[in-house]
């Protein structure tokens, strides 16, 4: 008995399916390049056992608890602590039982595919999780987590991860990354520079963050020129520990080119909390351009993840903090938004930028045409809500005809759930092989070209795009 079908996600037509399976067979064991994500470097630095199944699968994964919350299950029932109660009063096993009882809610979702993959391939569980086998699941997983083979570093090796990129703020001292480098383990875990909390005037404690940022980098944060110097120094520090990219999670893709007088004035007001909403947007947009200029200087690849309305529920944000499932996609413009940046750097051969979107309507209309002509631009893979079978398929159909395959950057898992990494990459590889098999069957590409593309989409393009 098996939870998973060996033919999952492949075309229904037998001849096309056979082509997909041939392509997949050649790349299924390729090493994993994970160039963007949110796992914790601390896991690999300390290499301690994961505490229990709940803390491994439920509490860190907003894909899981947002679905459960949508069906009336309170976050406190899922082991999350609130500002009113710093420590969860729910026992891990009880949380797991709630999760198992409601596992049917994930039917048809990518979360179900990822979890089933992990349960079967990593823990040898052959029945679909439900309320009746909840304790069996918990006991099997809990027991294995105590074994040496299930320590974070050993799982990293078992998953065949070649490179894992985390994401940290410039206020982070990267001590866990340093500890990994100084250890006798050869796993490659690097960071990406995510300066949102010292760039966005609307972020919590912005002025205090900027002050701390200046102190860390021995710069006077009151001066805009010193503030920029702090960014240069911080980026160099990240580079010294292996970083090859930056990441920017802005509400929009807007960029602005301001005069020295204009940006100095905005910066001064930002530290005093005197910017209105429009001025905050202008400041962020100018800083995106400044970050792009710095990328030309230091060679870090720039990632832009715009278009999320974060913390849509103020009540949940207040009680439980950010990243609790209430981040919602919103319309995002790129053609006009990026023009100031592209006017200055769009033809600069030293600049490289990867564009992501949560607004699928822009893929065919804006992003593919932009990335299909500007040498500095690449298209990031389906992200967040579109990190799914249908999302990946729509992505290929939306961008390939205009931008081709080689202006895309493969796949990244963008996850906090460590064990889902191989599951997510497997799903991506299956979907891409299915798409390639259709092109081969239709006579649009030759089969040998399909094999070359399968390799690039699963491994080569990501390594090249991120300078890995």
Q: Taking each helix axis as running N to C, give the angle between helix 206-216 and helix 224-240, from 0 to 180 degrees, rounded to the nearest 10.
A: 60
Measured CA to CA in angstroms, residue 409 lies from 300, 355, 374, 406, 447 at distances of 15, 10, 15, 7, 21
pLDDT tens digits, 406-451: 999 999 999 999 999 999 999 999 999 999 999 999 999 999 999 9
pLDDT in the model for residue 418: 96
SS3 state at 242: coil
Calpha distance 26→438 (Å, rounded): 17
Angle at 399 between CA 463 and CA 167, to 5 degrees: 40
pLDDT tens digits, 286-307: 999 999 999 999 999 999 999 9
Calpha distance 394→310 (Å, rounded): 24
Angle at 230 between CA 224 and CA 233, to 5 degrees: 150
pLDDT in the model for residue 321: 87
pLDDT tens digits, 67-79: 999 999 999 888 8
Calpha distance 226→169 (Å, rounded): 18
Nearest CA to 49 out of 192, 147, 136 is that of 147
Largest CA distance in the chain: 69
Q: 10 Å Cβ neighbour count for 141?
A: 23
* Block residue for tokens 């919602």: 328
pLDDT in the model for residue 81: 80
Indicate if the pLDDT at residue 85 is higher than 80. Answer: no
Taken in order of first residue, the domains within the chain and their CATH numbers are: 14-49+152-465 (3.20.20.140), 50-150 (1.10.2020.10)
Calpha distance 74→98 (Å, rounded): 11
SS3 state at 50: coil
* Block residue for tokens 């999320």: 308
Q: Answer whether 246's CB lies under 8 Å from 303's CB.
A: yes
SS3 state at 301: strand
Measured CA to CA in angstroms, residue 9 lies from 27, 29, 110 at distances of 15, 17, 11
Q: 10 Å Cβ neighbour count for 30?
A: 16
Q: Answer whether 96's CB lies under 8 Å from 137's CB.
A: yes
Calpha distance 122→147 (Å, rounded): 13
pLDDT band at 60 (very low <50, low <70, confident <90, very high): confident
Residue 303: strand pairing partners: 247, 354
SS3 state at 161: strand
| DSSP states of 340-393 | HHHHHHTT-TT--EEE--S-THHIIIIIHHHHTT-TTEEEPPP-GGG-SHHHHH
pLDDT in the model for residue 87: 57
Sign, CA dihedral 13-15-16-21, equals positive
Calpha distance 466→245 (Å, rounded): 7
Indicate if the pLDDT at residue 89 is higher than 70. Answer: no
Residues 6+ apart with CB under 8 A from 28: 426, 429
Q: What percent of the chain has pLDDT over 70?
A: 99
């Amino acid at each position: 008995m098996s939870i998973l079908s060996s033919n999952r996600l492949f075309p229904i037509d037998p001849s096309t399916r056979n082509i997909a399976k041939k392509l997949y067979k050649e790349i299924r064991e390729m090493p994993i390049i994970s160039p963007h994500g949110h796992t914790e470097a601390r896991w690999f630095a300390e290499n301690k056992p994961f505490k229990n199944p709940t803390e491994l699968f439920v509490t860190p994964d907003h894909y899981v608890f947002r679905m459960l919350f949508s069906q009336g299950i309170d976050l406190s029932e899922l082991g999350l602590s609130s500002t009113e109660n710093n420590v969860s009063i729910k026992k891990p096993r009880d949380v797991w039982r709630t999760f198992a009882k409601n596992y049917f809610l994930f039917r048809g979702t990518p979360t179900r595919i990822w979890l089933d993959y992990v349960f079967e391939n990593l823990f040898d569980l052959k029945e679909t999780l439900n309320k009746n086998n909840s304790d069996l699941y918990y006991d099997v997983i809990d027991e294995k987590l105590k074994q040496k083979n299930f320590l974070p570093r050993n799982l990293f090796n078992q998953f065949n991860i070649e490179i894992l990129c985390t994401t940290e703020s410039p206020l982070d001292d990267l001590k866990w990354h340093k500890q990994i480098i100084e250890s006798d383990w050869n796993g490659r875990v690097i960071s990406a520079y995510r300066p949102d909390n010292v760039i966005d005037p609307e972020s919590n404690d912005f002025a205090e963050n900027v002050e701390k940022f200046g102190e860390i980098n021995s710069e006077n944060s009151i001066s805009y020129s010193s503030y920029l110097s702090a960014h240069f120094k911080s980026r160099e520090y990240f580079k010294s520990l292996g970083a090859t990219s930056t990441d920017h999670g802005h509400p929009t893709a807007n960029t602005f080119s301001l005069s020295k007088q204009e940006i100095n004035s905005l910066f001064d007001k930002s530290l005093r909390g005197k910017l209105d909403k429009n001025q905050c947007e202008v400041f962020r947009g100018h800083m995106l351009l400044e970050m792009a200029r710095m990328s030309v200087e230091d060679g870090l690849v720039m990632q832009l993840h715009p278009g999320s309305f974060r913390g849509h529920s103020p009540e949940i944000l207040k009680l439980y903090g950010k990243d609790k499932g209430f981040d919602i996609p919103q319309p995002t413009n790129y053609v006009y938004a990026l023009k100031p940046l592209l006017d200055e750097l769009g033809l600069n051969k030293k600049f490289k930028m990867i564009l992501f979107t949560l607004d699928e309507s822009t893929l065919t209309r804006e992003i593919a045409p932009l990335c299909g002509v500007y040498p500095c631009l690449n298209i990031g893979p389906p992200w967040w809500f579109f990190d799914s079978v249908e999302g990946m398929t729509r992505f290929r159909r939306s961008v390939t005809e205009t931008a081709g395959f080689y202006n895309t950057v493969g796949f990244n898992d963008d996850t906090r759930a460590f064990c889902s990494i191989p599951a997510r990459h497997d799903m991506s590889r299956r979907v891409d092989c299915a798409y390639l098999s259709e092109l081969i069957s239709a006579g649009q590409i030759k089969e040998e070209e399909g094999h070359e593309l399968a390799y690039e989409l699963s491994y080569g393009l990501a390594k090249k795009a991120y300078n890995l």
